[in-house]
Structure 1
Amino acid sequence: MQINDTAAIVTGGASGLGGATAKALAAKGAHVFAFDLAASIEKAEQVDGVTYVEADVTDGAALRPAVEQASSSGMPLRIVVNCAGIGPSSRILSKKGTHDLDLFHKVVNINLAGTFNVMTLAAEAMAQTEPLEDDQRGVVINTASVAAIEGQIGQIAYSASKGGVVGMTVPAARDLASHGIRVMTIAPGIIDTPMLATVSEEFRAGLAAGVPFPKRLGRPDEYAQLAVDIVEHDYLNGDVIRLDGSLRMAPR
Structure 2
Amino acid sequence: MKIQDRTFVVSGGASGLGLATVHTILAAGGNVAILDLNADTGASVIQQLGPSHARFFTADVSDTDSIASAVKDTIQWIKETGKELGGVVAAAGVSTPAKIIDRHGEGFDMTGFDFVMGVNVRGSVDLCRQFLPHLVQVEPEGEDKERGVLVLVSSSAAFDGQPGQVSYAASKGAIASLTLPLTRDLARYGVRVVTIAPSLFDSGMTALMSDKVRASLMKVVEFPARAGKPEEFARVVKEAISNSMLNGTVIRLDGGMRMPSKM
For 1:99 and 1:200, locate their aligned partners in 2 and report how far apart those are by CA, in whole Å: 21
**How many residue pairs are counted as aligned between the two chains?**
252
Q: 1:200-219: per-residue Cα shift (whole Å, max 9, x none)? A: 66764543232000111001
For 1:43 and 1:89, locate their aligned partners in 2 and report how far apart those are by CA, in whole Å: 30
Q: CA deviation at 1:122?
A: 1.5
1:166 to 170, 176, 182: 176
Q: Which residue of 1 aligns with 2:64?
A: 60
Q: Which residue of 2 aligns with 1:87?
A: 95
Unaligned residue ranges in structure 1 (runs of 5+): none
For 1:5 and 1:61, locate their aligned partners in 2 and report how far apart those are by CA, in whole Å: 28
What's the TM-score once normalised by structure 2's chain length?
0.91
How much is the aligned-residue C-alpha RMSD, in angstroms?
A: 1.7
Q: Which residue of 1 aligns with 2:239?
A: 229
Contact residue 78 and residue 137 of structure 1 kept, 8 A: yes
1:47 to 41, 49, 61: 49
> Bigger CA drift: 118-127 or 5-14?
118-127
Q: CA deviation at 1:2?
A: 0.6
Q: 1:122-152: per-residue Cα shift (whole Å, max 9, x none)? A: 1111011101121210000000001011110
For 2:215 and 2:155, locate their aligned partners in 1 and report how far apart those are by CA, in whole Å: 20
Q: Which residue of 2 aligns with 1:33?
A: 33
Instruction: For residue 78 of structure 1, give the secondary structure of its aligned residue in structure 2.
Output: strand
Q: Which residue of 2 aligns with 1:75?
A: 83
Instruction: For residue 93 of structure 1, give the secondary structure of its aligned residue in structure 2.
Output: coil
Cα distance change, pair 5–42 in 1 and its aligned pair in 2 (3 A): closer
For 1:245 and 1:43, locate their aligned partners in 2 and report how far apart those are by CA, in whole Å: 33
Q: CA deviation at 1:27?
A: 1.0
> Bigger CA drift: 13-22 or 87-96?
87-96
Q: Which residue of 2 aligns with 1:3?
A: 3
Q: 1:30-73: per-residue Cα shift (whole Å, max 9, x none)? A: 11011000254256473243211101112222212312332331
Contact residue 143 and residue 187 of structure 1 kept, 8 A: yes
For 1:152 and 1:171, locate their aligned partners in 2 and report how far apart those are by CA, in whole Å: 27
Contact residue 7 and residue 71 of structure 1 kept, 8 A: no
Q: 1:64-119: per-residue Cα shift (whole Å, max 9, x none)? A: 23123323312110121111010110011012521111111110010000000111
1:187 to 193, 197, 208: 197
Q: 1:203-247: per-residue Cα shift (whole Å, max 9, x none)? A: 645432320001110011100000001100011100000000011
Contact residue 9 and residue 32 of structure 1 kept, 8 A: yes
Q: CA deviation at 1:198?
A: 4.6
Counterpart amino acid of residue 28 in structure 2: K
Cα distance change, pair 102–198 in 1 and its aligned pair in 2 (3 A): closer
For 1:19 and 1:176, locate their aligned partners in 2 and report how far apart those are by CA, in whole Å: 27
Cα distance change, pair 202–59 in 1 and its aligned pair in 2 (3 A): closer
Contact residue 200 and residue 206 of structure 2 kept, 8 A: no
> Bigger CA drift: 71-80 or 234-243?
71-80
For 2:153 and 2:208, locate their aligned partners in 1 and report how far apart those are by CA, in whole Å: 23
% identical aligned pairs: 38
Cα distance change, pair 92–205 in 1 and its aligned pair in 2 (3 A): closer
For 1:184 and 1:30, locate their aligned partners in 2 and report how far apart those are by CA, in whole Å: 19
